[in-house]
Amino acid sequence: MSPEQMETLEQTSFSMVTQALTDYASQAVSIFKEEVDQPQDIAEDVTREAIELMGLPQIHMRLYGKVDIKKAVYVFLPEAIPVALMLDAKAEKPSGSGTATIQMSQTSMRVKMWRQGEVIDETGKLPSFIQRDGRSLYVVTVFAKYIYDVIDNAHVLKRIIAACLPNGLLQDRYNPSANDTIWRVGRNAPTLGEDFRVRISFADLRSKASWRVQDIQIPLTNPDF
């Protein structure tokens, strides 16, 4: 698959996910407000329910990976393209709305960036495509970030930010070098032996392709919020 075809495949897949999140936004607001679970658990449940409610054209195949939701689906361009859709949900307070922390097992890109005066070149552990049952499923990775506050002991959903992380086949377009990057230093401590993590910068990703970061419109059920 050419870079142009991969870009189109990701954009089409991402539009389905963002539409599912938009359609489910009202329910998401209510669920966050009413549930007593941890916000991260609520975010995972809301994302899963939104995708299931849309009813994507699924391929009956089990996928593996360290993301919250893994689905084998068809995306039509107009021919049917098998896609391994990887979705990860995150919940954070407003101070963390500019980035999303990812593990190297959640990306097929190489992470090229500067850290503490040294060039980092870390290989992603997620493949660009998955061979299964005679099919090649191209990996599309999406993060849904739920920004919430706590008001009167309730979780109040403020924003939903969706971001489509580029497939490793698009490395040269999005992160060709440490000086041309979409990454920020992750929340891990190498001195403590913690696994390497990195943060995707929404602003830098949007500057490369505006469609890759979307703010999902949510209704304001209470103007005081």
pLDDT in tens, 87-129: 999 999 888 788 999 999 999 999 999 988 899 999 999 999 9
Judge whether residue 225 has pLDDT over 50.
no
Beta-carbon contacts of 152 under 8 Å, excluding residues fewer than 6 positions away, are none
Residue type for position 14: F
Confidence category of residue 134, pLDDT binned at 50, 70, 90: confident
Nearest to 57 by CA among 13, 26, 90, 101: 13
Average confidence (pLDDT) over 38-46: 95
- What tens digit of pLDDT does each residue of 179-224 get? 999 999 876 555 555 678 899 999 999 999 999 999 998 876 544 4
Three-class secondary structure of residue 136 per DSSP = strand
Residue 188, pLDDT score: 55
Residue 197, pLDDT score: 86
What is the residue-averaged pLDDT of the chain? Answer: 91
Break the chain down into helix, strand, coil percent, rounded to 5: 30, 40, 30
**C-alpha to C-alpha distance for 193 and 210, rounded to whole angstroms:** 36
Nearest to 140 by CA among 150, 151, 126: 126
Residue type for position 205: L
- What tens digit of pLDDT does each residue of 73-84 get? 999 999 999 999
Residue 133, pLDDT score: 83
Confidence category of residue 28, pLDDT binned at 50, 70, 90: very high
Q: Give the global pTM.
A: 0.90
